[in-house]
Amino acid sequence: MAMSPQGNRTSTSSTALVIFAKAPIPGLVKTRLCPPLTPDEAATLHGSFVIDTLERTKAAIGKLKLPMDRYLACAPSSGHVFFKIMEERQGVKLIDQVGDDLGARMHHVVETMFSRGYRRTLIIGTDVPTLPLEHFRQALTLLDSHDLTIGPALDGGYYLIGMNKTVPELFADMPWSTDQVLRLTQEKAAVLGLKTALIQPWRDVDTLDDLEALIEECTTDSKKPKNERVFSTRTSGVLQALAKRLRSRT
């Protein structure tokens, strides 16, 4: 399917995989980790997570042969130099996040993807740097027999949501960044008559407890043979450095 060049769809993939990301600007990302992290440290960690997500989604599509086109939904703007570098190095399409809150921005992205001819849209955040590639296949497969696929986060939210039609009610009047998000989303889906499937829960990284758990997981991972490690060398290095600094600050 060929379309006009104004950011429209140019491939025959049936699914859009949209990665929501903020530019790694100190003071604007991972603020719940500051303190004990400095704004610069939090931004470095976030930037590494964004790259991890891009690398893992690219690997999922390549290794598992999933029919998905990747988009990076950018804030504050797709014109930020970080995103331009990601576009060039990671081969991902850039779009802007548009809306007053996360729900509005997610709904706008879903509408945009369906207007471009995609039959399914998956949205994922960047706080799950060790998410197994198989989760993407599961989410995609479940959409063959369900209206909605959700990847629950351990904190009561979700790290992934996929759908085969636009449902604005799912994103409206939601207390984002609380432990009520998953439950309320499921309740709304049930009221709307949507058939919903959950994939395996996974930890995202929002709080210091999350970060400490990730550091511990990374320490265990680093003892494995190189070909079995889950963490990227880049993020492993960042986490090791942060672990040392956190110990010195306490």
Domains and CATH numbers, the chain: 15-203 (3.90.550.10)
| CA–CA distance, 157 with 159 (Å, rounded to integer) | 7
Angle between helices 39-64 and 81-90 (to 10 degrees): 20
- Please give the model's pTM, rounded to 2 decimal places: 0.93
- What is the per-residue pLDDT for 12? 56
Structure confidence by residue, pLDDT tens digits, 21-37? 999 999 999 999 999 99
- What is the per-residue pLDDT for 11? 54
Contact of 140 with 69, CB cutoff 8 Å: no
Helix (H, G, I), strand (E, B) or coil at 139: helix
The residue ranges of the chain whose pLDDT is under 70 are 1-12, 250
- What is the per-residue pLDDT for 211? 97
- What is the per-residue pLDDT for 150? 98
153 HSE (CA, 13 A, CB side): 28
- What is the per-residue pLDDT for 88? 97
